[in-house]
Structure 1
Amino acid sequence: MHVIVLLLLTIISINECSDIKGFDDTVLFDINWPGNTGDQISILDGEGDHVIITTKFQEKYKCILPNIQEKEPTTANNYDGPSPLELIAPLFTQSSCSYRLESYWTYEVCHGKHIRQYHEDREGKKVKVQEYNLGHWDKNRYEIMLENMKTNEQESKNTPLPVKKIDGITLPYFEVVMGNGTQCELNQNKPRQTKVIYVCYIHGKHEIFSFKEISTCMYEAIILSPLLCTHPRYKPQETGENEISCSPLDDHPNKPRNLMKMIQENKKLRRRSDIDHIRVEFHPLDLNEKEELPKQPETPIDTSPVESFLAGKNCLNGGTGWWKYEFCYGRSVEQYHIERDGSKTSINLGKFNKAKHLEWLGTHPQKRPKPKNQRTQLSHLYADGSVCDKTGKARQTEVKLKCVENASNLNAVTLYLLEPRYCEYILGVESPLICDILARADENGLVENVDEDAIIEDEISTVNIVRV
């Protein structure tokens, strides 16, 4: 019957109503149609907010709206236990760390200590680690925060808690800020900073629910912890169904005509059998008769995705944080962010120039492709990007095209971007599509049979990568 709410909202016209709260999908309603009963007469004559609704068939109903009040549990006002900071303090003293593994990066949140973003490359016994510190916790800050909370204790009880919607549920949270991380060149060399948001989840193990970059070098980590659940103000709000009673006015039917029609149709669908019109026929089988099966035409292999990629027509877009990036083969690598107003902030990380690529191979011979029967990847240089404020030089990117075999989706593409040195990047492109390119590349890793004129004239399209 919850679907009726949508029906009512589409035909509702408000006659008389006091301050009705905005839509909140955590508040549930159930619509009751009691008809013209003696009990309903007393309801209609009583006090309370109500609306008059009129259907397209001019059927009129008076609906009594429930009085919804957001009441905190009485125990919240009488609560005299530890503050939220004191409740999560055991995490700060137990050397507890939480981890979140993504396709390339690993995020490490050591509560009350530091937050780290890192990736490990293993070459034999050697391990190369690329890492950024996303924030430190100052031990002196604990006492300062605790003192401030005690000073403002009475005032804070009357202040609504900040909330986050997690999986459709609005949850109060307690926030701890960790700053003084690795300097961010894209943000005027300001230190990286992370907002750690703790929410009550009774079955939680202090795991990282989500980790994202909310603005340039500013991060947000949501931690599911049972420790906050002992504080009544941080428990999830219990929401039951609120009943709306609608009764007909004058001599109109107890329920709207279209509603009755929809209920009847739903009943018919439930009763209908899916197999009541199957006819079974038996025919004798001649075992001596040989039936020639028609030859199936061979489906030619569609190479258009590879050709479009090599021609620079299909650009790949990836990235899950604040910054996204776009790679157009043979053209450029771009890092960008779309603002709420639709404006675009972009940084060019490099453009392809054949002469500079060959010069780069001359000084870095290890970047040349291996023999064709041993190749798994190709490396290309994209140079002359936007000037870097930190180094005063143009940005450049090494693009690594890697063949991934036995993938469930032949069109799947994984992108990742690294910055091993200031303004010198590595863009990894991993896909089964690359496997078709390896054998076609020459000793410089280039595919020479692409129509360069077509690259200039054809319109560029983009391919959005869902998972990076």
Structure 2
Amino acid sequence: MDKNYVTQITTLSIFLLLLDATWASFNNANDLFQLQFPGASAPGQLEQYADNILTMTTTNNEQYQCIVPPENDPNAQDVLSYDGPSANKLMEPLLKGGSCTLRVETYWTYELCHGMHIRQFHEEKLPGRDTKRQEFFLGKDFAFPQDEKFASQNVSTIKGPAKDIKVPTIYLDGKDIPYFEVIMGNGTACDLKGNTPRMTRVKYVCDKNGRGDILSLKETSTCEYEVILFSTHLCSHPLYRLKESPINMIQCHAMDGSPVLPEAYEALTRKDNIHHVNQPKQAETDTETKIIQSVDRATRGPVTSLADDQLLRDFLRGDYCLNGGQGWWKFEFCYGKYAQQYHQDKTGKTIVLLGAWDEDAHKKWWADAKTKTKSSTSSTKQVTHFYSGGDMCDLTGKPRQVQVKLKCKESLGQHAVTIYLVEPYTCDYILGVEASIICPLLDSADEYGLLHTDVPKP
């Protein structure tokens, strides 16, 4: 057996058995090897595997004879033989069939009509009035990408090693998965990019059991989006089928005087099982276009009551700002100063001011809102403030503005905050800020919903 191969297996096994690792971390990492402990071997049972036996000793002097699978031939090639429709042809029925897929989020609904358009919209039904709708097209029509890396989409005949044909891949669930791409451009004009039309790259991946569901939808750069979804249409093409890595079983038989399972290994697996029982699985969403998903963020560790009061005063002075958001845009809110969105990368920081604080403008807005709704714009659980005079919006010719909804949410941790942003009208935003830190502050709200530093003790 190759010495390097034995060394690799030995290292993996020792790592699993002796270090602070768990079986789940090994098994879920898409490694090529998986351990089994079937107990002591019968006389003569291992003779046929003589060339593949590795004797292992743990730190507790437990000994095992492990049958290591034969090494895969590194020179072996995945040879394909295919003579059928190209990926472009396979996708034609979907792209020209007029079918649509919906994804419903908290505020926006996203509609992808394959080969026709992708749009986000919100409909609001008002009593006694027509339905009010806001919508943006993230792309219309479609075109195949012209980049050379997508040449595989036109391949219909393959005879030879698969490695000779490059297929673009995306990294999902720990695997590089091939995808098919179409570009949908000519969407609604984007004022942040000089009224350049919005554009979306739609990436289809093979899933034999897929129903065309949208896996993710996000903004990858300003007014440019990426949609990933499943499709059965690609699965008949060998270049787009997911190649599963085989799992090689390593059977370790206990030698005389050793337990079936190594003591350390049994303890680690027992610890891992407890860990997974007590930790709930959280749902994942990746949608981020005009609605930015909420994000919980721990802000500070446990503090004393006096420190809590100081934190509240820092927040009300605008010295303690709240940040949140995922994906391309992040958000910053400084009470009594401003609300903004920003993106930072190696080239620098792009900032869009959503609104700045103007007390007179807020009081006028408050009075108007109270008159229109004939109800209070604050409650014991929430208060809304108006920030105006943001960056100029090219699409409306007016400055941006934002309503900041400060909401008490006692279910969150003492120093956690949830922030979300929606855009019900062009360049007119709602920023939601939910946190337990806001709860005692709401008691100090005056007739205009303004909060004060003389905060009563909770």
TM class by shorter-chain length?
0.5 to 0.7
Q: What is the aligned residue count?
A: 386
Of 169, 187, 191, the match for 1:185: 191
How is 1:357-436 mapped onto 2 (pairs within 5 angstroms)? Answer: 357-358=362-363, 360-361=364-365, 365-366=368-369, 375=378, 378-386=383-391, 395-401=399-405, 413=418, 415-418=420-423, 420-421=425-426, 424-429=427-432, 431=434
> Which residue is 2:225 aligned to?
219
> Which residue is 2:290 aligned to?
none
Indicate yes or no: 2:251 matched with 1:208.
no
Mapped partners of 1:108, 1:268: distance in 2? 46
Q: Against the structure 1 CA distance between its residues 269 and 162, is the aligned structure 2 distance closer, same or farther, given a 3 Å change threshold?
A: closer
Indicate yes or no: 2:32 matched with 1:28.
yes
The secondary structure found in structure 2 opposite 1:123 is coil
Quote how far apart the aligned CAs of 1:197 are: 0.9
Quote how far apart the aligned CAs of 1:319 are: 3.0
CA contact (8 A) 2:407 2:434 kept: yes
Q: Against the structure 1 CA distance between its residues 322 and 71, is the aligned structure 2 distance closer, same or farther, given a 3 Å change threshold?
A: farther
Consecutive unaligned residues of structure 1, counting only runs of 5 or more, are: 13-23, 45-49, 248-252, 271-299, 453-468
Quote how far apart the aligned CAs of 1:64 are: 8.1
Mapped partners of 2:124, 2:141: distance in 1? 28
Residue type of the alignment partner of 1:385: G
Mapped partners of 2:91, 2:187: distance in 1? 22
Mapped partners of 1:103, 1:365: distance in 2? 27
Q: Against the structure 1 CA distance between its residues 6 and 398, is the aligned structure 2 distance closer, same or farther, given a 3 Å change threshold?
A: same
Indicate yes or no: 2:92 matched with 1:86.
no
CA contact (8 A) 1:402 1:429 kept: yes
> Which residue is 1:96 aligned to?
99
> Which residue is 2:351 aligned to?
346
Mapped partners of 1:413, 1:267: distance in 2? 35
> Which residue is 2:112 aligned to?
109
Quote how far apart the aligned CAs of 1:266 are: 7.0
Q: Against the structure 1 CA distance between its residues 328 and 86, is the aligned structure 2 distance closer, same or farther, given a 3 Å change threshold?
A: same
CA contact (8 A) 2:116 2:140 kept: yes
Q: Against the structure 1 CA distance between its residues 140 and 343, is the aligned structure 2 distance closer, same or farther, given a 3 Å change threshold?
A: closer
Quote how far apart the aligned CAs of 1:97 are: 0.7
Quote how far apart the aligned CAs of 1:332 are: 1.0
Residue type of the alignment partner of 1:94: G
Quote how far apart the aligned CAs of 1:148 are: 9.4
Residue type of the alignment partner of 2:110: Y
Q: Against the structure 1 CA distance between its residues 210 and 415, is the aligned structure 2 distance closer, same or farther, given a 3 Å change threshold?
A: same
The secondary structure found in structure 1 opposite 2:331 is strand
- Could you give the per-residue CA deviations for residues 271-310 of structure 1, whole angstroms, max 9, x where no partner exists? xxxxxxxxxxxxxxxxxxxxxxxxxxxxx9xx96977755
Residue type of the alignment partner of 2:85: P
Quote how far apart the aligned CAs of 1:38 are: 5.6
The secondary structure found in structure 2 opposite 1:126 is coil
Q: Against the structure 1 CA distance between its residues 427 and 307, is the aligned structure 2 distance closer, same or farther, given a 3 Å change threshold?
A: farther
Residue type of the alignment partner of 1:164: I
> Which residue is 1:172 aligned to?
178
Mapped partners of 2:101, 2:425: distance in 1? 25
Determine what percentage of the aligned residue pairs are the same residue.
33
Q: Against the structure 1 CA distance between its residues 192 and 378, is the aligned structure 2 distance closer, same or farther, given a 3 Å change threshold?
A: same
Indicate yes or no: 2:267 matched with 1:262.
no
> Which residue is 2:452 aligned to?
449
CA contact (8 A) 1:385 1:396 kept: yes
> Which residue is 2:137 aligned to?
133
Consecutive unaligned residues of structure 2, counting only runs of 5 or more, are: 1-8, 19-27, 273-304
Residue type of the alignment partner of 1:383: S
Mapped partners of 1:353, 1:149: distance in 2? 55
Mapped partners of 2:151, 2:72: distance in 1? 39
Q: Against the structure 1 CA distance between its residues 308 and 103, is the aligned structure 2 distance closer, same or farther, given a 3 Å change threshold?
A: farther
CA contact (8 A) 2:316 2:453 kept: yes
Give the TM-score, by structure 2 length.
Answer: 0.64
Quote how far apart the aligned CAs of 1:323 are: 0.9
CA contact (8 A) 2:111 2:119 kept: yes
Mapped partners of 1:268, 1:331: distance in 2? 52
Of 321, 328, 332, the match for 1:326: 332
Mapped partners of 1:263, 1:365: distance in 2? 68
CA contact (8 A) 2:330 2:341 kept: yes
Q: Against the structure 1 CA distance between its residues 114 and 162, is the aligned structure 2 distance closer, same or farther, given a 3 Å change threshold?
A: same
Mapped partners of 2:424, 2:445: distance in 1? 26
> Which residue is 2:23 aligned to?
none
> Which residue is 2:168 aligned to?
162
Mapped partners of 2:17, 2:209: distance in 1? 43
Quote how far apart the aligned CAs of 1:118 are: 1.7
CA contact (8 A) 1:26 1:170 kept: no
Mapped partners of 1:153, 1:222: distance in 2? 27
The secondary structure found in structure 2 opposite 1:79 is strand
Mapped partners of 1:120, 1:404: distance in 2? 27
The secondary structure found in structure 1 opposite 2:192 is helix
CA contact (8 A) 1:310 1:330 kept: yes
Q: RMSD over aligned Cα, in angstroms?
A: 5.2
CA contact (8 A) 1:184 1:217 kept: yes
> Which residue is 1:297 aligned to?
none
Residue type of the alignment partner of 1:205: R
Residue type of the alignment partner of 1:262: A
The secondary structure found in structure 1 opposite 2:131 is strand
CA contact (8 A) 1:202 1:225 kept: yes
The secondary structure found in structure 2 opposite 1:137 is strand
